[in-house]
Amino acid sequence: MNTTKTIKSALISVFDKTGLEPIVKKLHQLNVTIYSTGGTEDFIKNLNIPVVAIEDVTSYPSILGGRVKTLHPKVFGGILNRQDNETDVQQMQEFDIPQIDVVIVDLYPFEKTVASGANDTDIIEKIDIGGISLIRAAAKNFKDTVIIPSVNEYSLFLDIISNNNGESTFEQRQTFASKAFNVSSHYDTAIFNYFNKNHEESVLKISETKGDILRYGENPHQKGFFFGNFEKMFTKLHGKELSYNNLLDVDAAVNLMNEFKNDNPTFAILKHNNACGIATRKTLKQAYLDALEADPTSAFGGVLIANSRIDLATAEEINKLFCEVVIAPSFDDDAVDLLEEKKNRIILVQKQVDLPKTSVRSCLNGILVQDKDLKTDSKQDLKIATTTSPSDEEIEDLIFASKICKHTKSNTIILAKNKQLCASGTGQTSRVDALNQAIQKAISFQFDLTGAVLASDAFFPFPDCVEIANKAGITAVIQPGGSIKDELSIDYCNKNNVAMVFTGIRHFKH
């Protein structure tokens, strides 16, 4: 059976007319009858190309301010009829329904209208009814009908009809149908999520139409993909393609540095999603050097991020280190020139965009969704639990350490001093193990922990942690509190002049 179809008629009703002109001219050259309505009809007329108004087919005007134009049996009969079905063929003749071989649609820009901050009335008017119905009808009948569902497919369609004298194959029509249902499902998802923005229904609908194929996933034997708009968030100046693991580290780096975006120059170095070094200083160069000091071994091959413009002086220090990615809100030109000396080093300029407020991850045979931990501990949140109060400098260090702790794998302990990460204990099954790991690491890099502070992501069920910390020289502790045995930790601190504050907020990161 010959499944190749010759286009003899086309219905065109589009919002975005970019690239439409050559298609219309080609269809006219192929002697295709063109049907249209509204602004698209005017566009075609202005090209001096014959066009049949849909109103002339339906004998019904566009009504309700243009809300109803194509919704008519003569239109949808022309799209949905099965050309190999005898009854359909008879009814087409009986009701004088014209055959429509191709439908070209581009929907009202609902998502762009929402993103523009338009009011509800304008947004509702951008919910396409006729267009989405045309797309679904033509895609359903792809055996006989070609559906071009968006401006993104104009070029492909033009190539096909130009190279094949107006003919399409079954496989091509099926491909366009797949694209069409992708467009329609994404469109409906966007509309639902707009109406469900207050999460009145516990329903998860995610639709991402832009996917990048990665070299592989976490390991070479795993496939990997990234669905999102990376270019909206970053301008990539240099370097190789980002890997799955690079993207996870970049995500961790961005979320961490978001805590310090309004602080003095701050530099962080991350490895395997955790900060191995971070410091806040008067200059970015010094912030980088002090961040590196925390763990120069782990910094090798890490992801680096700054909260301010990277200048040449800072770049000269960075260039001494092998690192995968460098991120900053901006770079001096000479700093970029220097950093580009390493051909694979990825250099990213971070743009100011809103990050998602929910997190999604697969779990068992389903999906877990939660609000992101958007709570940042501040001085106003601190409740002094001990007779010894922390000094102003210790309070600043406690807040600094708490910000890092929030973005470090649980169980975690953060040790900091003078707004510099001394060491962290990450991902341990015991909080005591996390603390001992942090202390030993700090000692191995020759940090003097006398006067340092400690941050814990959750409460202490026993006083063992504050005792170990005190013996290491730590003088102030920040933790959520809430253990039934809080008093044991408080009593130890009171006896040993250790200041401890409660926040009332736990920051688990599993």
Single out the catalytic residue among 140, 143, 186, 205. Answer: 140
Phi, psi of 71, deg, nearest 5: -75, 85
User: Is 379 a residue of the active site?
Assistant: no
Report how far residue 146's alpha carbon sits from residue 294's, in angstroms, rounded to the nearest whole number: 62
Antiparallel, parallel or unpaired: β 211-213 and 225-227: antiparallel
For every residue of 294-310, DSSP letters joined together read H-HHHHTTEEEEESS-B
Nearest to 7 by CA among 74, 103, 85: 103
Contacts of 54 (CB under 8 A, 6+ apart): 11, 35, 36, 37, 41, 62, 69, 70, 72, 75
Backbone region of residue 486 per phi and psi (left: phi > 0; alpha: psi in -120 to 50; beta: other values) = alpha
Report how far residue 260's alpha carbon sits from residue 249's, in angstroms, rounded to the nearest whole number: 17
Give the pair of three-digit tokens for residue 13: 């009703």
Q: Are 417 and 449 in contact (CB under 8 A)?
A: yes
Nearest to 24 by CA among 116, 124, 104, 123: 104
Nearest to 397 by CA among 450, 469, 452: 452
Report how far residue 122's alpha carbon sits from residue 461's, in angstroms, rounded to the nearest whole number: 55
Nearest to 344 by CA among 191, 271, 239, 497: 239
Antiparallel, parallel or unpaired: β 5-6 and 52-53: unpaired
Q: Are 347 and 335 in contact (CB under 8 A)?
A: no
Q: Are 8 and 32 in contact (CB under 8 A)?
A: yes
* Greatest C-alpha distance within the chain: 98
Report how far residue 434's alpha carbon sits from residue 422's, in angstroms, rounded to the nearest whole number: 14
Within 172-299, strands assigned E span 211-213, 225-227, 234-238, 266-271, 274-280
Residue 37 three-state SS:
coil
User: Is 72 a residue of the active site?
Assistant: no
Single out the catalytic residue among 143, 186, 236, 272. Answer: 272
Dihedral over alpha carbons 362, 363, 369, 372 (to 10 degrees): -80
Which positions are annotated as active-site residues? 140, 272
